[in-house]
Amino acid sequence: MGEKVGIWSQILDIPLKQYYVDVNGINTRVFEAGEGEPLIFVHGTGGHLEAYARNFKGLSKDFRVIAYDMVGHGYSDKPDRPYTIDYLSDHLVGLVKALGLKTFSLSGESLGGWVVAWTAAHHPDLVDKLILNTPGNITNKPEVMKQVKESTIKAVIEATLENVRTRLEWLFYDKSFVTDELVNIRYQIYTQPEFKKAVYHIVCLQDWEVRKDYAWDPKWCGKIQCPTLLLWTDHDPTGTIDEALILKEWIPDSQLHVIKDAGHWPQWEKPEEFNEVHRKFLKEGSL
């Protein structure tokens, strides 16, 4: 069973900064800790930067760790337009420019994995190393798209603690990790008045007519030039290890590591292994 993890206890004794930065007119929330080579974490659909609360302490000893709320998510601004992959990627590139970063490494989970892969393919001069953490539904399965869309909309439009908990529990293999604190944080985010419109823009990529222009494809995946790690789990509800093997063929010289007994948030369920895999890959370029 998962231990009862408190977010504040994970970051209590590290010099952590929370701030907002203007990214081309988008007020963007950022967490940062540590010094050294920049490592940027990017969360998933309907998520927020607290998804990486269990990773700051371990990784900020070696890296300048940055997590942020994607445009339309968390406490960043929520413009009234679809949040497509190119738009989310442009926001990420705008953020790193606003922070004055010349190069950096990226680790994205779920939708965040899609965004960072797209960014690495289209801005190869910027990305040092790339980690795709359970990037999710590489083969565009309709049932997964339907589940993500419906559960996310329900958690926002019919916002109750129970609906938010159900949405979060879908991400975890060990559902006892879904604490009241984590549910309450996401409930507070989802009950922002502007979120009721933003949620439809967030899930636009679960509609094939929008998704088809950005779907995982060897044509653009093959443009990724930096060392790439595919970080999978054996209980990811969005995609099997078979899909990881497909992506491994598409991305040149990519490596695969599978974390056992974890779902869609290995950074939370298995933080020690997650952190160590990141540290070794980012420092050595291989596992």
Q: pLDDT tier at 5 (50, 70, 90 boundaries)? A: confident
pLDDT greater than 50 at residue 265: yes
CATH code (residue 109):
3.40.50.1820
Give the span between the Cα atoms of 159 and 175, in whole angstroms. 20
Q: What is the chain's mean pLDDT, rounded?
A: 95
In a domain, 161, yes or no: no
Does residue 19 fall inside a structural domain?
A: yes
User: Which pLDDT score, from 0 to 100, does residue 6 have?
Assistant: 80
Is residue 56 domain-resident?
yes
Burial of residue 175 (CB within 10 Å: 0-12, 13-18, 19+) is middle
Q: What pLDDT, on a 0 to 100 scale, did the predictor assign at position 1?
A: 47
Residues spanned by the domain of 113: 7-141+215-284
User: Does residue 149 sit within a domain?
Assistant: no
Give the pLDDT score at 3.
56
Q: Is residue 153 part of a domain?
A: no
Residue 277 in tokens: 């895999």
Residue 232: helix, strand or coil by DSSP? strand
CB 42 within 8 A of CB 92: yes
Average confidence (pLDDT) over 109-119:
98
Q: Structurally, how many domains does the chain consist of?
A: 1
pLDDT digits (tens, 9 = 90+) for 205-233: 999 999 999 999 999 999 999 999 999 99
Residue 178 near residue 168 (C-beta atoms within 8 A): yes
User: How far is Cα 162 from Cα 90, in angstroms, rounded to an integer?
Assistant: 34
Q: Is residue 164 part of a domain?
A: no
Structure tokens at 23: 């990214």
Give the three-state DSSP class for 251.
Answer: coil
Given a cut of 60, is residue 37 above it in pLDDT? yes
Would residue 158 count as lying in a domain? Answer: no
For residues 122-150, give the mean pLDDT.
95
Average pLDDT over residues 38-57: 97
Give the C-alpha separation, 202 to 38, whole Å: 27
Sheet containing 38-42, strands listed edge to edge, beginning at the edge strand earlier in sequence: 17-23, 26-33, 64-68, 38-42, 104-109, 127-133, 228-233, 255-259
Note the pLDDT of residue 118.
98
In-domain check, residue 94: yes
